[in-house]
Amino acid sequence: MGRKKGKGDGTESPQSIDKYANELQILIDNLDPEDYVEGICPLVIDWFKDLEVFSSKTIKAGLTYGKPLRNALVENHYRTLLPIFEYACSKIRERDSEIYDLKNLVSDAAPALLKAKIWSLERENEALKAKLEIYNDISSTVREITPVLEELKENNIKDLLRAERELVCKDINSTIEKSNLGILEEVKSSSSKSYAQIALQSRGISQNSSIPIRPLPTSSQDPEGVLLIKPKNDRVKDFDTNKKLFMNPISSNNTNARVRGINKLYGGGVKIITGSTDEAGAIKDLILEKGAADLDQNFEFVLPGRRVPQIILYNVDKGVDEESLKKGLLSKNITLADAENKPHFKIDFKIPARDPKCNHWVLSINPKKYSDFIAAWTGGVVVTRNKRN
């Protein structure tokens, strides 16, 4: 009979090898330090290695498990296992203590964090209050300064406008003066043309021939003097008698006074026109001295002052009232007012025009600004009265 396969040839089958493999050594090899608390894994590995050495010796010695083997296991191995358990338990207790402390720390930190947050919010609130107070102070200061700034702004605008007006008026007046000099020279060379006609001609404006214009005196002429003799009662109202009464003393005394004309006044009065105001006064004194004794009782002798020159604005729309006319003239002619915008003219009255839709307006002009007014003339304004004596 042959031998059974696997017996008597010194070899063992794979099944027998697996069956009696050293499971303890396999267990040791599979230990992972990451599975244990720090410091425990080396102790466990050393313990199992000692157990493996002891087991291998026991197997080789052919010892059976009994009291001696049990006691040897307890003495050499199981007893050494207790410190490992104790160490593991101490680690567990230490970890539990840390967890407990962390829990307390977290529970204690919550109120502290809240307090810190409250303190931070209080600080922020105080900072915002300080900023709000600063803003309130600035606002009150701005409210106080704003009216002052507005007043300064208004005053500056007025001063600026006044300065601009004065500057413009100065330039315009300079131009007007140059133009007036040329006009006056033309007036001197042409006695048949009036000042107004020359002014209109220099501005390229045609003159309405249907409107009479009195000639204006030139600067080379002396201002005329006027003596008005008015009757005080009805007994001396005959103009021819009064004329002889006053002219006889003048003729008989061979006075040097230049009598340019004699006109009739309403009520039989006499108007004597002389070369100057001084001559008019001299004639008055002569008549009172050389004439009848009762002249001053029957007649009133008047030396009128220099009259204001006047102009007439023809064919002004009937819907334009006095105030609108004044504003319109000032807005279109800056030289007709002073630096304070006060006009150099006065609107006297209106006259009905032939056209029922229009009126004529009579204006009195400041004698010093008469030339400027004429130079600033535009269509529709005609000088019809120039009483500058």
Edge to edge, what strands does the sheet with 310-317 contain?
A: 345-352, 358-365, 310-317, 381-385
Q: CA dist 180 to 169, 176, 198, 378, Å?
A: 15, 6, 10, 16
| Across 116-130, 197-211, 371-385, least confident range | 197-211
Digit-coded pLDDT (tens) for 32-51: 777 777 777 788 888 888 88
Question: Does residue 6 surpass a pLDDT of 70?
Answer: no
* pLDDT recorded at residue 382: 43
Q: Give the best-scoring range by mean pLDDT among 94-103, 176-185, 224-233.
A: 224-233
* pLDDT recorded at residue 377: 60
pTM exceeds 0.85, yes or no: no
| Across 144-158, 166-180, 221-235, least confident range | 166-180
Closest CA to 136 of 151, 123, 148, 144: 144
Question: Does residue 358 surpass a pLDDT of 90?
Answer: yes
* pLDDT recorded at residue 380: 41
* pLDDT recorded at residue 180: 66
* pLDDT recorded at residue 160: 81
Residues 174, 180: Cα–Cα separation, whole Å:
10
**160 φ, ψ to 5°?**
-65, -45
Helix (H), strand (E) at residue 11: none
Kindly indicate the confidence band of residue 188, based on its pLDDT and cuts at 50, 70 and 90: low
Contacts of 381 (CB under 8 A, 6+ apart): 311, 312, 313, 314
* pLDDT recorded at residue 260: 85
Digit-coded pLDDT (tens) for 70-79: 777 777 777 7
Residue, of 354 and 368, whose pLDDT is higher: 354
Digit-coded pLDDT (tens) for 117-142: 898 898 888 899 888 888 888 888 88
Kindly indicate the confidence band of residue 17, based on its pLDDT and cuts at 50, 70 and 90: very low
* pLDDT recorded at residue 266: 86
Residues 32, 36: Cα–Cα separation, whole Å:
8
What CATH number labels 225-302? 3.30.70
Kindly indicate the confidence band of residue 12, based on its pLDDT and cuts at 50, 70 and 90: very low
* pLDDT recorded at residue 5: 42
Torsion from C-alpha of 227, 228, 231, 236, nearest 10 degrees: 60
Start-end of H helices in 190-235: 195-202
Domain boundaries, the chain: 64-183, 225-302, 310-378
Kindly indicate the confidence band of residue 8, based on its pLDDT and cuts at 50, 70 and 90: very low
Digit-coded pLDDT (tens) for 341-350: 888 888 888 8
* pLDDT recorded at residue 208: 45
- Whole-number average pLDDT of the chain: 75
Question: Does residue 162 surpass a pLDDT of 50?
Answer: yes
Residue, of 375 and 60, whose pLDDT is higher: 60
Question: Does residue 381 surpass a pLDDT of 60?
Answer: no
Kindly indicate the confidence band of residue 231, based on its pLDDT and cuts at 50, 70 and 90: very high
Torsion from C-alpha of 48, 50, 51, 57, nearest 10 degrees: 150
Digit-coded pLDDT (tens) for 269-311: 999 888 888 888 888 888 888 887 788 888 999 888 767 788 8
